[in-house]
Every structure is written in C-alpha cells, then in structure tokens.
Amino acid sequence: MIISNNNPHFSDLLRSPRLMLAFGFGSGLSPKAPGTMGTLAAVPIWLLMAPLAPELYWLLGLLAFFLGIYLCGSVSRQLQTHDHGGIVWDEFVGFWIIMPFVPSHSWSLIWGFVLFRLFDIVKPWPVSWFDRNVQGGLGIMLDDVVAALYAALATVVIGYLGFF
C-alpha cells in the first residue's frame, strides 16, 4: 500500500488492519495532539478490561505490548519514519498500564489520564533516553511504558503521602 507523504488517511486505515490498530482506530489521525486523542480512544477499551481478574488484565496488557512492538515497527517501516506522531497504539498500552495503580474513586479516570499524558509529554529521563536511543517498534513502545511506570510510581507515592 502506498501512502502519499507518509500521512495516511482514514481510507488507508480501512484497507489495513495494521494501520487501523497502530493509528488507534483513527484517533492518531487527529491534526492536534494525536497522542492525547489516542489515549482518549484507549478509555473505552480500558472500561471493558477494568473488571477483569488482575491476571487476565495483565496478560492482555502484555499481549498488547508485544502486538504493539510488531504494529508500531511495521507501520513505521511502511511510513518510512520512526515513531510517526499518528501511531498511538503505544499510548493505548501506556494508559492501560497506569490505570490499575490509580485508586478507585470518582477522579480515577482523569487522574490516570492526566498523569500518563504528563510523563509521556515531558519525557523525564530515562523516558527520553528510550525515545531517542531505542529504534523500531520496541523503542516506540518502551518510552510510553516507562512513562506509564513513572505515572504509576507517582500515584503510589501520592497515595502513601495520604492524598488519596
């Protein structure tokens, strides 16, 4: 499939399941803040995953991570660019990682969303190191996973300090 200017359109996504998943069912096509739109698109799937037994939840998350390595790497090669801004499967997986660490209360969804986006955008070390130095699908996935782990750690520390 040939994609002009390395920027797919929704019609391209409809013809390619890899593009459809990597671009978060079209959310990555957003001209503004595609990563944030991708994270928003991950919310309905998380709502379906949240009631699962923890073992099944983490198994699905692990499968999504390995699928993401393939999807993100394959689509990056197809688009001839590393970590195209529209590839948001990594945001899906990162959001799913933080959410089990967020305490259950009325603000949990917003809390998890904001913390994950904060660490994914700011990219503190080593998130920034993974972003710059690990290539291919693994690199695309790892920086978001590490950002999610930072967000999870921040959640645990804030809870320990008594703010929850």
Query: With 80 as the cut, is the pLDDT of residue 72 above it?
Result: yes
Share of the chain above pLDDT 90, in %: 79
> Above 70 in pLDDT, residue 1?
no
Is the pTM for the entire model greater than 0.75? Answer: yes
What count of other Cβ atoms lies within 10 Å of the Cβ of residue 60?
15
Q: How far apart, in whole angstroms, are the C-alpha atoms of residue 106 and residue 128?
A: 32
- Cβ neighbours of residue 44 under 8 Å, at least 6 residues apart? none
- Respond yes or no on whether the N-terminal peptide bond of residue 17 is cis (omega within 30° of 0): no
pLDDT of amino acid 82: 86
The pLDDT of 23-48, averaged and rounded, is: 97
Residue type, 122: V
Q: What is the DSSP string of 106-146?
A: TTHHHHHHHHHHHHHHH--TTHHHHHHH--HHHHHHHHHHH
Joined together, the tokens standing for residue 155 give: 């959640």
Contact 148, 98 (CB under 8 A): yes
Beta carbons of 35 and 85 less than 8 angstroms apart: yes
Give residue-wise pLDDT tens across range 75-126: 999 999 988 999 999 999 999 999 998 887 778 888 889 999 999 999 999 9
